[in-house]
Amino acid sequence: MTKRDLVVRVARQTNLKQSDVMDVVQLTLDTITEELAAGRSIEFRNFGVFEIMRRKERVGRNPNEPATEVKIPERAVVKFKPGKEMRKLVMQINPQDIK
C-alpha cells in the first residue's frame, strides 16, 4: 500500500475530499518524523510504538571483497514494536501466503 492508496481508501470511507485527506496524512507523517528526529518516541495504542535506538559500532564485510573488513559507525535507528492488536492479526497470516 502506498500513501496514495491510503488517502484514496480513507477518502472513500469518510466521504472527504482526497486533497483534504492527503493534507492530514502528510501532516501526520511529518509530525511523526519530527518527533522521532527530536529523539522522542511515538506510541499509538493497539498499533505500535516507534522509538529511537542506538545501534552500536560494528564490523561489516564488503560482499565483493569478503576479506576486507569495514567499520560501521554507531548510529541512531528507528525501531518499531507492533501493538497487541496488530501483532494478533499479523500472527494469523500464513507464511506461505507472503510474497
CATH number for the domain spanning 89: value is: 4.10.520.10
Beta strands in the chain (DSSP E): 42-44, 48-55, 58-62, 65-72, 75-82
Q: What are phi and psi of 87, to 5 degrees?
A: -60, -45
pLDDT band at 79 (very low <50, low <70, confident <90, very high): very high
Closest CA to 59 of 69, 50, 49: 69
pLDDT band at 31 (very low <50, low <70, confident <90, very high): very high
Q: For residues 64 and 78, which has the higher predicted lDDT (pLDDT)?
A: 78
In the prediction, which pLDDT does 40 show? 95
Q: Which domain holds residue 37?
A: 3-97
In the prediction, which pLDDT does 63 show? 84
Report the domain count for the chain: 1
Check whether 62 has a pLDDT greater than 90.
Answer: no
Q: What is the pTM (predicted TM-score) of this model?
A: 0.79
Average pLDDT over residues 63-80: 91
Largest Cα span, the chain: 59
Check whether 3 has a pLDDT greater than 90.
Answer: yes
